[in-house]
């Protein structure tokens, strides 16, 4: 598996390409070339490799961040923000760990509830239709609008 920058994960960790055992028994061009270098040349080549490893790591990190941003932008293009105002009727999702979830034929939504307060960060405080206010906030992804 190679990144777009040409660096393998092994190269990013250890600073050199991996040599498989078959190349040791039957020398490849890469192994032959490395074996013919004298000590001074080998040390110089190794220092150059070590100096380039940080650059390759940074290239891989930058590539990962750019990929993450592209994926986030592609996802967020299709997201439609939902706004709720106090007084609106909503339904609350029934989660599997709740008592009301009894098998596959149980309803998936509870309610209706009335939006009592909108909190910062995408959470709501709900109230039952009789006026009793819940103490726990609930995320917007577990709420949908109820049309009566």
CB-based contacts of 3, cutoff 8 Å, min separation 6:
12, 59, 60, 63
**Per-residue pLDDT at 31:** 59
**Per-residue pLDDT at 107:** 83
Task: Work out the widest C-alpha separation in the chain, in whole angstroms.
Answer: 87
What per-residue string of b and e applies to 75-111 under the rule 16 or more CB within 10 Å gives b?
eeeeeeeeebeeebebbbebeeeeeeeeeeeeeeeeb
**Per-residue pLDDT at 36:** 65
| CA separation for the pair 58, 148 (Å, rounded) | 56
Mean pLDDT by 10 residues, the chain (148 residues): 65 74 53 63 73 85 94 90 89 79 78 90 89 90 90
The H-assigned helical ranges of 78-146 are none
Let me know: does 26 contact 70? Beta carbons within 8 Å. no
**Per-residue pLDDT at 103:** 73
Let me know: does 16 contact 47? Beta carbons within 8 Å. no
The structure's pTM equals 0.49
Number of Cβ within 10 Å of residue 11's Cβ equals 21
Alpha-carbon distances, residue 120 vs 4, 72, 80, 137 (angstroms): 40, 22, 18, 11
Beta strands in the chain (DSSP E): 89-93, 109-119, 123-128, 138-139, 143-145
């Amino acid at each position: 598996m190679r990144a777009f920058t040409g660096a393998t994960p092994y190269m990013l960790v250890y600073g050199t390409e991996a040599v498989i055992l078959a190349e040791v028994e039957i020398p490849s061009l890469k192994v032959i070339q490395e074996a013919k270098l004298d000590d001074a040349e080998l040390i110089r080549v190794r220092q150059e490799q070590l100096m380039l490893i940080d650059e390759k790591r940074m290239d891989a990190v930058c590539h990962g961040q750019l990929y993450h941003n592209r994926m986030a932008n592609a996802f967020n293009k299709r997201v439609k923000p939902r706004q709720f105002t106090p007084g609106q009727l909503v339904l609350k999702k029934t989660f599997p760990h709740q008592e009301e979830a009894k098998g596959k034929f149980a309803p998936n939504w509870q309610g209706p509830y009335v939006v009592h307060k909108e909190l910062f960060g995408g959470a709501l405080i709900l109230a039952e239709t009789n006026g009793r206010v819940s103490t726990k906030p609930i995320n917007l992804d577990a709420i949908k609008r109820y049309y009566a």
